[in-house]
Structure 1
Amino acid sequence: MLSGFKKFLLQGNVIDLAVAVVIGTAFTAVVDAIVKGLLTPLIARLFNAKNLAGMTWEGFAYGSVIAAIINFVLVAAAIYFLVVVPMNHMIERRNAKHGIKQEEETVDPQIALLTEIRDSLSARK
């Protein structure tokens, strides 16, 4: 029983997942600092407010909702432009260096036939 548990723990997937969680946690702090320290104050200045979360209207704290939406969009943009785009570019360069070509999308023959039938039927109308 313990040997199975040891094998499970030492599999590459478990270790990769643990490393990803730790790196993700550390990276979250970096992205959070960029968003809260730089981007959110700049956007708050556009609204002439000290901070977005403090904006209210007749008791409704709409500022916190706006701040949460803006934080989400900014975090997603930071992840996309600072991680995803450079990683995709790096993978493309590595694949080109090793002569690996991107696989072309294959279409299931049944799907192709159904598409032709659909197009033929829509052309009859």
Structure 2
Amino acid sequence: MGKTKKEATSVLDGFKAFLMRGNVIDLAVAVVIGAAFTGIVTAVVKGVINPLVGAVGTKNLDHYSSCLKDPCKLGPDGDVISGVQIMWGSVAGAALNFLITAAVVYFLMVLPMAKYLARQEARKQARTGNPEPEPIQVTELEVLQDIRDLLIAQRTGAADGTVAPQRTAGPDGR
């Protein structure tokens, strides 16, 4: 019975580690951007941003456009009959919608998760008492000498691969 409890704990620990990996968090953020915040952000843009823009001009950003080739004439159904109309208001509205969505996701999900992970790492290092060890710096000369020693050991048939260090030639070649 104790074994199943231990297995359950290890499964939960594994699941927790899986959830805390960066890829899962990034995927969750992408899903949230695409689904959950779309309605909220759209409501903010239509309810707050568009009325502020409407104080200067029209309330709907989609109505902002420029005529590239005059004269721009619209038909009764709103289609362009003549001219080339650039609908820059639609682009500005979509960009504003994206910026608001990105800001909400960053400040409500990404930033708190990054702080949480940093605290978890600090606690882990405090428990172990030692930070990550410094990597050992190996020079190119040392690597080449090790390769030389292994090749000599291979040629002489030394079973354990140990070879007495070879004498290096001096400046005069001896």
Instruction: Give deviations 1:70-107, integer Å, cap 9, x for gaps.
Output: 1221122122112210110111121122226887xx9x
Q: Does 1:52 align with 2:61?
A: yes
**TM-score (normalised: structure 2):** 0.41
Q: Does 1:72 align with 2:98?
A: yes
In structure 2, the residue matched to 1:81 is 107
Q: Identity, % of aligned pairs?
A: 28
Give the whole-Å Cα distance in 2 for the aligned partners of 1:62 and 1:88: 36
Q: Does 1:94 align with 2:116?
A: no
Deviation, 1:28, is: 2.0
Q: Does 1:42 align with 2:48?
A: yes
User: Quick check: which one's helix share is greater?
Assistant: 1
RMSD: 4.0
Does the residue aligned with 1:50 lie in a helix, a strand or coil?
coil
Higher-Rg member (1/2): 2
Give the whole-Å Cα distance in 2 for the aligned partners of 1:102 and 1:31: 39
Q: Conserved in 2, the CA contact under 8 Å of 1:41 and 1:51?
A: no
Gaps of 5+ in 2: 1-18, 68-84, 136-174
Does the residue aligned with 2:86 lie in a helix, a strand or coil?
coil
Q: How has the CA–CA distance of structure 1 residues 79 and 43 changed in structure 2, closer, same or farther, with 3 Å as cutoff?
A: same
Q: How has the CA–CA distance of structure 1 residues 35 and 94 changed in structure 2, closer, same or farther, with 3 Å as cutoff?
A: same
